[in-house]
Amino acid sequence: MSCCFLKRLLPFAALICLGAFPIIVNSQSKPLVVATASIFADMANAIGGDLIEVQSIVPIGGDPHIYEPTPGDVRLLLKADLILKNGLTFEGWLESLIANSGSKAPAITLTEGINPITSSQYQNATDPHAWMDPVNGKVYVQNIRKAFAAMLPEHTAAIDSAAESYLARLDALDAYIREQIRRIDSTKRILITSHDAFHYFGRRYGIQLEAILGTSTDADVRPSDIVRVQEVIRQNKVPAVFLESTINPKLLQQIATDNRIRIGGKLYSDSLGEEGSPAGTYIGMIRHNTDVIVDGLTQSSPNSGMEESGTRSNLIWLLVGILVVLGTGAFLLSTRKKSTR
Ligand code: ZN
C-alpha cells in the first residue's frame, strides 16, 4: 500500500525537483532565446522582433568576464529554446551553467566565422571582444539569422528582412566611424582604457590600443602595465584616457591625475548602457564610443596647454623686462642731457 502510494507520488516529486518547468516550456507561445550578455540580446531582439522572447543572463552593467551565475539563471536556461553565446572564452562560466541546468537548447557561438585576435601579452589567449568591430557584428547577425530561421522556418522571410535592414545599419555605422576617426590627428590615435576590449575596433579603424588590464578583467593589475601606459601618455602627449562602464575607474582616474590629462568619458564594451540611453543598443553603444573617443582625442592635451600658456607668460615677462630696461635707459639718457645743458 505504502509502496503504491510512493509510486504515485514520484512523478509529482520529479516535477517539484525540476521546478515544474516543463509545463511552462510547453505553454510558451514564443520561443525563448537566452543570450549571455545584453549586447547579443539586443541583436537578437532586432532580428527576431515579436517572433521571440529574449532574455540576457548578465544584466546591464554586469561584467560577463567575472559573472557568477544565480539559481535564477539555472531556471532560465532550463526554459530556453536557444542559447546565444559569444565564445572565445568570454563566458567561462557558461558550460557548467548549461550542464547544471540540464538544458537541451542548442548553444550558438556568435563569433563563428570571424578572424580572431590572439593576445600579444598572454600565450594561447584569444581576445573575445569581436563585437566591438561592427563589421564583425555583421557575422554575429548572420549567425543569429541562421539559428532563428532554423528554429522558426515558417518565418524565414520576416527574419531575413529584419536581418538585411540591420546589416545595412551596420554598414552605415562602419562608414560613420571611418569618417569620424579621420578627424583625429594620426599621431593622437591612441586609446587608453581599463581593459583590452577595443583591439577589434582599433584593428578596423587604425587606432593603437593601450590598456592597464588584459583582455579579461579577472587578472590583477601589474605595475609594469601601469609604467607602460604612463610612458605612452608622456611620449605621445596623449590628451585623454577613457573609463569603462563595467570597470572600477579608480586606477585610470589616478593615472589621469598623475599625468594631468583628461578623462575623455565613459565607454561601453562588455555591456550596453541603461535602456533608453544613447548606449542602450548595440549600434547606439558603438556610435557613443566613437563620439566619446573622437571628442576626447581631438582636444589638445591639458599638459601641452599648460606648457603653451607657460611659454606665453614667460614671453610676456621677457617683453616687460625689455620695456623696463629701455624705459630706464631712456630716462637716464634724458636726465644726463638735462644735466649737461
Ligand atoms: Zn571585456
* Rounded Cα–Cα distance for residues 119 and 101 (Å): 32
Tell me how many degrees the CA angle 92-93-99 measures, rounded to the nearest 5: 120
Q: What's the gap in Å between 65 CA and the centre of ligand 1?
A: 6
Ligand 1 centroid distance, CA of 262 (Å) = 23
Multiple choice CATH, 3-179, 3.30.420.40, 3.40.50.80, 1.10.3720.10, 3.40.50.1980: 3.40.50.1980
- Ligand 1 center to residue 211 CA distance, Å? 11
If one counts every other C-beta atom within 10 angstroms of the C-beta of residue 173, the result is 19
Distance from the alpha carbon of residue 178 to the mean position of ligand 1, in angstroms: 23
* pLDDT given at position 19: 37
Burial class of residue 278, CB neighbours in 10 A (0-12, 13-18, 19+): middle
Mean pLDDT of all residues in 48-52? 98
Mean pLDDT computed over 13-34: 55
Q: How far is the CA of 76 from the centre of ligand 1 (A)?
A: 24
Q: pLDDT above 90 covers what percent of the chain? A: 68
The amino acid at residue 19 is: G
Ligand 1 centroid to Cα of residue 276, in Å, is 22
pLDDT, one tens digit per residue, over 214-245 is: 777 777 788 888 899 999 999 999 999 999 98
pLDDT at 68: 97
C-alpha 309 to ligand 1 mean position (Å): 39
- pLDDT band, very low/low/confident/very high, at 335 (cuts 50, 70, 90): low
| Distance from residue 100's CA to the centre of ligand 1 (Å) | 25
Where is pLDDT greater, at 167 or 330? 167
Query: Count of CB atoms within 10 A of residue 243's CB?
Result: 20
Query: Strand pairing partners for 35?
Result: 56, 84
pLDDT for the residue 225: 87
Q: In the chain, where does the domain assigned CATH 3.40.50.1980 lie? A: 3-179, 186-297
Task: Write down the pLDDT at residue 217.
Answer: 73
Strands in 82-85's sheet, in edge-to-edge order, are 53-56, 32-35, 82-85, 107-109
How many residues comprise the chain? 341
Block residue for cell numbers 547579443: 40
* Gap from CA of 201 to ligand 1 centroid (Å): 13
Of 9-23, 83-97, 313-327, the least confident? 9-23
Q: Which residue has the higher pLDDT, 159 or 220?
A: 159
What are the φ/ψ torsions at residue 244 (nearest 5 degrees)?
-125, 145
For residues 119 and 80, the model is more confident at 80
Cα-Cα-Cα-Cα torsion 250, 256, 257, 258, nearest 10 degrees, comes to 110
pTM across the whole model: 0.79
Distance 18 CA to ligand 1 centre (A): 34
Any alpha helices (H) in the chain, and if so which ranges? 2-17, 21-27, 38-48, 71-79, 94-101, 134-151, 156-181, 199-205, 223-236, 250-258, 282-297, 302-340
pLDDT band at 161 (very low <50, low <70, confident <90, very high): very high
User: What is the tens place of the pLDDT at every residue in 172-219?
Assistant: 999 999 999 999 999 999 999 988 899 999 999 999 999 888 777 777
CA of 110 to the centre of ligand 1 (A): 16
Ligand 1 center from residue 266 Cα (angstroms): 14
Q: How many CB atoms lie within 10 A of CB 205?
A: 20
CA of 11 to the centre of ligand 1 (A): 44
User: Do 197 and 217 touch, CB atoms closer than 8 A?
Assistant: no
Q: Residue 21 pLDDT > 50, yes or no?
A: no
The CATH number of 186-297 is 3.40.50.1980
Distance in Å, CA 89 to ligand 1 centroid: 11
pLDDT of residue 38 exceeding 80: yes
